[in-house]
Structure 1
Amino acid sequence: MPFDFDMLTQEMRTAATEAYVAPSKPTGALGNLGYDDYRAINFRSPNARWSDAPGSMFRVEAFHMGWLYSDPVRVFEVQDGSATEMHFSTDDFDYYNDLADRFQPHLELPGVAGFRLATPLNRPDVYDELVAFLGASYFRALGRGNSYGLSARGLAINTASGGQEEFPRFSRFYLERPTDGSMTIVVYAAMESPSVTGAYRFLITPGEETVMVVTARIFARQDVQQLGVAPLTSMYMFSESNRANYDDFRPNVHDSDGLRIERNSGEIIWRPLNNPPRLGGSYLGESSPRSFGLYQRDREFESFQDMEALYERRPSAMVQPIGDWGPGSVRLVEIPTDSEVNDNIVAFWVPDEEFKKGDAREYAYSLRWGAMAADPNQSLAYVYDTRSGAGGVSGLNNGDNFRKYVVDFRGGVIANLPADAMLEPVVNVQNGTVEHVSLVRIPGTDMWRLIMDVTGDSGAVVELGAHLAGYGRKLSETWLYQWINA
């Protein structure tokens, strides 16, 4: 059938005027797959689509339906302006244990759960997994040398808003068949949920940083309480700042350790992540920010000591809006967790303008995945580390409402300043009191350490902010933190 992005857009615009129809749940063997069953099904790599396509630098493999992924997803190949469905059968999968007796050979499946793309990312002779779309509108990608960590979503609806959260799903994908050795692939997706429909386009280019240029055209079926654009989802359990309650041989356990925002003014905000005692989060107001993202800044194995998880290799992901997104907020949601298998961090853009039934919006942005180390040539010092512990004088009982924060700033123009340089720590606290502040250069390094003792009432949510200034200018990122004194 004929296909292009505008045709998909018009189809989803029309669908928004019609009632939502939930996908049919599978029956029989597909409907009875549990966690262990699902782990015992693998796609047969020799059956990857496009493996015999001349000039194609990409391979397509499907995820089997079942367990958490019971909604059927259809996948189409687009070539010369026409779309043809990719059909998958039980012959495309290996079934282990007793599953081979439960699935007949040569049986065409009603759909798949999603798909993944492979390309020679790290070596020219090996097709590495590059990106995977699996479950609702979730997807994740890798830059060179990364291992999977955080995920992105097409859209977040009513996340931690007091109402019922909704998870829109990509129900169909359209993959343009690349030719002539192209290292960019185009993926289109149709989104559906009770409240919204959408047409998405992803231009994906692998590399040291894998770049997705995303265009999202969304339509409101119903009024949306909170629209979350370009959402990122990650895991943060503990680090040096909050590991007192964890009896674990590893110093840190997290996929991401901070939210980074570059404001329209050029100011850079770094908000270390937290595993709070109760649901927490922040609205960081901005008008059309230059970028926001969840980062893994700590890249040393010694910081994690985990030879299986390899947290130091988890990618950062940065959203760079294209065009004017207008006024809104970057919202950060932090959910308490006691397990590293749970994603408990969400960050997304919330526009100030309401999204009402019949409304249409288009958002375009670049989504970059990779190590994204701090630029050593930038003039602003960056937050290298954040630590916290009991406040006041060490060895004394200073009470539960006393907290110490230690923030190390590194790089920038302050790296070469002497210990007696005229630097000023600028500290702001809301719902609390600053009892003591000091700033010292750490001998033998290019780092400066800011130490703050803060008090706050029991049950208070204390908001902290700090940066370094001197010689008539701002000299560091702005450090933000939230202390929930439970």
Structure 2
Amino acid sequence: MIRTHRHSRRRVLGGLLASTALGPNLLVAQTQTPSETPFSFDGLKREMKARAAVPHAPPAPLDTALSALSYDDYRNIYFRPDAALWAQTDTRFRLEAFHPGWLFQEPVGIYEIVQGMARPLTFRTGDFEYRNQVGEKLPDQTSLPGVAGVKINTPFNAPGKYDELITFLGVSYFRALGSGNSYGLSARGLALNTWQSGPEEFPRFSAFWVQRPATGDSTIEVYAALESASVTGAYHFVITPGADTVIEVEAALYFRTSVAHLGLTPLTSMFYFAEHSERRFDDFRPQVHDSDLLRMVHSSGDVLVRPLNNPPRVSNSFFADEGIMEFGLIQRDRSYEAYQDAGAQYHNRPSVMIDRLGDWGAGKIRLVEIPADLEIDDNIVLLWTPDVAPQAGENRTYRYRMHWGALPAEDSGALAYVQSTRTGVGGASGVPVENRNLRKFVIDFEGGVLGGLDPEAAVFPVVTASAGEISNAVLHKIDDADHRWRLFFDVDGQEADLIELMAHVADEDRKLSEVWLFQWMRSNIKK
């Protein structure tokens, strides 16, 4: 998978950039004289539906000068802030472009919408600063054949300082930030055949239309055309910046072919190791990850959290979505001390929660965890998949809302939240353990009604395992930690290949904590 920023930290799978250019009804080639044409989302939907009825045809590649850019060439090309769209206005937003080249061999069209009319934007070499020799090879003020993607900035961290809000770059990848965040996990418009038999297909946003914001507008609207061999799509993004940046998405999909494995709302992240990992890495930092929990909120009021893993083999987990109102990937630890990485700033990585809007039909939440030997590997994928796969000629529309930000756990309300998970050798400390299949789990629950209870309160742990044997389950309040309770228990893995664990704290009437889930693989069990 490709990450849309800091490419030096990410491995890239080959063949990501397959796409199809739009027909002449919507797109004007960048080499033509720019002209205005009427634009509406309904019109974009009609065009993409029509495109789905014809075969996929890739656009022409870049010329040699741009296609030959190396990583070092590309990372030393910067968009000039004074060339940003709307830089001379008093709106809250600025639009910048990413230079074509390196991995981005198929130009993306960019359009500005004003009063229902769209005009193509032409970017020139003079809009960029070339801190290398590349600029000498390109004639000054030459029009570029489209761009690689777009970035939208807004002053939501400090007055007058235009910081990055959202970027669209690389196939259908995009990233957003809440105030105070630094880039971490990515989202995609769509995922096809992710970690299934056969190659994964990567649909691509081939064009964007951005509504010019008026003075005082607190939101910005972006439309996108999606293309691949199997599907076309029309997307509408309504983006509202803040501590919790909210993006409302409508995706109208038109299927050229039947799709066996459709993935909606895909999130891609990195989990290397954490407190609960059986440590395989010699590293000075206590944790390295962009996200550490899968979080799901049920209509019953239950909140389920699953610590992520860097497994010894690819792991697919499926969760029935019946009653699940929200789901997403969370970065729960928010202190610098939890990571000790001043450069990567893992404690500032955003969490993302997704609300499905409307009736999506039956489906499942799917979590894919992939072995990673380096922190440059994006090894976590989360998506929603329908139980009934789409067929050739079928149309489907999905609406959802995304929340990007710190999303503090203490905002969860009455339930104590899982503050940390730790594991280690089972049995009593300082005593030799003969059973190497014995593992200890330590879970800290913090806040909520439970946090305010007296240490002698009548509360108890509920712990279950799909296999093996649980023993020595003990719950107590930690004296030197306000509002925190700790649960210990041992698990004897015995001969099970995989064990699913579940735990929470309750009293006689109700759950008092989030429900903790954990997957323990046999190859992690010591022989």
The TM tier, using the shorter chain, reads over 0.9
TM-score (norm 2): 0.89
Q: Please state whether the residue corresponding to 2:82 is helix, strand or coil.
A: helix
Mean Cα deviation higher: 160-169 or 311-320: 160-169
Aligned-residue offset at 1:43: 0.9
| Alignment-derived partner of residue 212 in structure 1 | 247
Question: Structure 1 CA distance, aligned partners of 2:323 and 2:393?
Answer: 24
| Alignment-derived partner of residue 463 in structure 1 | 500
| Alignment-derived partner of residue 97 in structure 1 | 132
Deviating 4+ runs (over 4 angstroms): none
Question: Structure 1 CA distance, aligned partners of 2:257 and 2:436?
Answer: 47
| Alignment-derived partner of residue 35 in structure 1 | 71
Contact 1:328 1:350 in 2 (8 A): yes
Q: Structure 2 vs 1, CA of residues 87 and 458 (structure 1 numbering), >3 Å: closer, same or farther?
A: farther
Q: How does 1:53-452 map onto structure 2 within 5 Å?
A: 53=89, 55-242=90-277, 244-287=279-322, 289-376=324-411, 378-395=413-430, 396-445=432-481, 446-452=483-489
Question: Structure 1 CA distance, aligned partners of 2:202 and 2:299?
Answer: 30
| Alignment-derived partner of residue 38 in structure 2 | 2
Question: Structure 1 CA distance, aligned partners of 2:163 and 2:492?
Answer: 50
Question: Structure 1 CA distance, aligned partners of 2:363 and 2:428?
Answer: 42
| Alignment-derived partner of residue 19 in structure 2 | none
1:479 aligned to which of 508, 512, 516: 516
TM-score (norm 1): 0.97
1:20 aligns with 2:70: no
Structure 1 unmatched runs, 5+: none
Q: Please state whether the residue corresponding to 2:424 is helix, strand or coil.
A: strand
Q: Please state whether the residue corresponding to 1:12 is helix, strand or coil.
A: helix
Structure 2 unmatched runs, 5+: 1-36
Aligned-residue offset at 1:309: 0.9
Deviation per CA, 1:326-369, whole angstroms, max 9, x where unpaired?
32111111111121122111111111122111111111111111
Q: Please state whether the residue corresponding to 1:473 is helix, strand or coil.
A: coil
Deviation per CA, 1:211-258, whole angstroms, max 9, x where unpaired?
111111111111111111111111111111116222211111111110
Question: Structure 2 CA distance, aligned partners of 1:397 and 1:414?
Answer: 33
Aligned-residue offset at 1:321: 1.1
Question: Structure 2 CA distance, aligned partners of 1:165 and 1:411?
Answer: 42
Q: Please state whether the residue corresponding to 1:317 is helix, strand or coil.
A: strand
Q: Please state whether the residue corresponding to 1:375 is helix, strand or coil.
A: helix
Aligned-residue offset at 1:30: 0.8
Aligned-residue offset at 1:264: 2.9
| Alignment-derived partner of residue 454 in structure 1 | 491
Question: Structure 2 CA distance, aligned partners of 1:483 and 1:26?
Answer: 47
Contact 1:117 1:131 in 2 (8 A): yes
Aligned-residue offset at 1:41: 0.9
Deviation per CA, 1:148-184, whole angstroms, max 9, x where unpaired?
1111111111111223211111000000001122111
Contact 1:288 1:325 in 2 (8 A): no
Residue type at the aligned position of 1:158:
N
Question: Structure 1 CA distance, aligned partners of 2:468 and 2:101?
Answer: 50
Question: Structure 1 CA distance, aligned partners of 2:489 and 2:49?
Answer: 53
Contact 1:374 1:382 in 2 (8 A): yes
Q: Which has the higher strand share?
A: 1
Mean Cα deviation higher: 434-443 or 214-223: 434-443
Aligned-residue offset at 1:298: 0.4
Question: Structure 1 CA distance, aligned partners of 2:403 and 2:135?
Answer: 40
Question: Structure 1 CA distance, aligned partners of 2:219 and 2:57?
Answer: 34
Aligned-residue offset at 1:3: 0.6
Aligned-residue offset at 1:83: 0.8
Q: Please state whether the residue corresponding to 1:290 is helix, strand or coil.
A: strand
Residue type at the aligned position of 1:225:
A
Query: How many residues get paired?
Result: 485
Residue type at the aligned position of 1:471:
E
Aligned-residue offset at 1:56: 1.9
Question: Structure 2 CA distance, aligned partners of 1:28 and 1:337?
Answer: 34
Aligned-residue offset at 1:201: 0.3
Contact 2:294 2:306 in 1 (8 A): yes
Q: Please state whether the residue corresponding to 2:444 is helix, strand or coil.
A: strand
Question: Structure 1 CA distance, aligned partners of 2:380 and 2:114?
Answer: 39
| Alignment-derived partner of residue 11 in structure 1 | 47
Mean Cα deviation higher: 5-14 or 155-164: 155-164
Q: Structure 2 vs 1, CA of residues 132 and 84 (structure 1 numbering), >3 Å: closer, same or farther?
A: same
| Alignment-derived partner of residue 83 in structure 2 | 47
Contact 2:300 2:323 in 1 (8 A): no
